[in-house]
Amino acid sequence: MHLLVVEDEDAIAEPLVEGLRAEGFDVTRVATGGEALEAPAVDLVLLDVRLPDIDGFAVCRELRSRSDVPIIMVTAKGEEIDRVVGLELGADDYVVKPYGLRELVARIRAVARRTGARPGTRETLRAGGLEIDVPARRATLDGRELQLTVKEFDLLALLASDPGVVVDRHRILRDVWDTTWYGSSKTVDVHVAALRKKLGDPTLIETVRGVGLRLRA
């Protein structure tokens, strides 16, 4: 996935770009709103609100008028009115500084799943014989198409985004169920059981007791 990072402060942009690249993203960084509007098409935009030339909200409005590219607003402003304005202008999500890289990556992937990673390139996740076409919301295992519910697909796509890596239950609830409720996660267990049955091999999804789940690499 190709990201456009719009951030004028080098001290913030440089480690951010380095971290995103380490997570497997292709990243282009620009420092002004004008450069953002002239940049080639990408799969998702991380857009800072405070820019030296054009207000980030204006950039968001212009980008949205041109395309359906997913936009995550990134800013130090935490007031509710700023979040509301950004979302009403067409932003898909809103992150307030300071934020952790893991949280940002989770939000990028969640937005990409919800929007189908618009526009252009098709994002396909692969792990062994499992292949997931995210925009088309189709999953196959050894060439056999899996008949999955919406949440089963989202859960499988999340695990397949990092095969072999443990995904904790808090992130699963946040990214798949869009909730911050971290009480009982029985609903996760129910969906995992259904997924294992449809995959035909219960060992493909491994439970790491007390932590979360991982897709066997």
pLDDT tens by residue, 15-40 = 999 999 988 888 999 999 999 999 98
Strands (E), the chain: 2-6, 26-30, 44-48, 71-75, 93-96, 124-127, 130-133, 138-141, 144-145, 167-168, 205-208, 212-215
Q: Decide if pLDDT at 181 tops 70.
A: no
Q: Decide if pLDDT at 79 tops 70.
A: no
Residue 121 pLDDT class (50, 70, 90 cuts): very low
Considering the domain architecture, whether residues 189 and 151 belong to the same structural domain is answered as yes
Residue 122 pLDDT class (50, 70, 90 cuts): very low
Task: Report the distance separating Cα 90 and Cα 6, nearest Å.
Answer: 16
Identify any residues that bridge with 108 across adjacent strands, giving them in sequence order: none
Residue 118 pLDDT class (50, 70, 90 cuts): very low
Considering the domain architecture, whether residues 207 and 158 belong to the same structural domain is answered as yes
Identify any residues that bridge with 140 across adjacent strands, giving them in sequence order: 131, 145
Considering the domain architecture, whether residues 166 and 80 belong to the same structural domain is answered as no
Considering the domain architecture, whether residues 130 and 79 belong to the same structural domain is answered as no
Considering the domain architecture, whether residues 89 and 13 belong to the same structural domain is answered as yes
Considering the domain architecture, whether residues 10 and 108 belong to the same structural domain is answered as yes
The mean per-residue pLDDT over the stretch 79-95 comes to: 76
The CATH number covering residue 157 comes to: 1.10.10.10
Q: Decide if pLDDT at 119 tops 50.
A: no
Residue 196 pLDDT class (50, 70, 90 cuts): very high
Q: Which domain holds residue 196?
A: 124-215
Considering the domain architecture, whether residues 48 and 153 belong to the same structural domain is answered as no
Considering the domain architecture, whether residues 88 and 133 belong to the same structural domain is answered as no
Amino acid sitting at position 57: F
Last residue of a domain, one of 115, 134, 150: 115
Last residue of a domain, one of 115, 145, 171: 115
Considering the domain architecture, whether residues 134 and 201 belong to the same structural domain is answered as yes
Q: Decide if pLDDT at 214 tops 70.
A: yes
Q: How many domains does the chain have?
A: 2
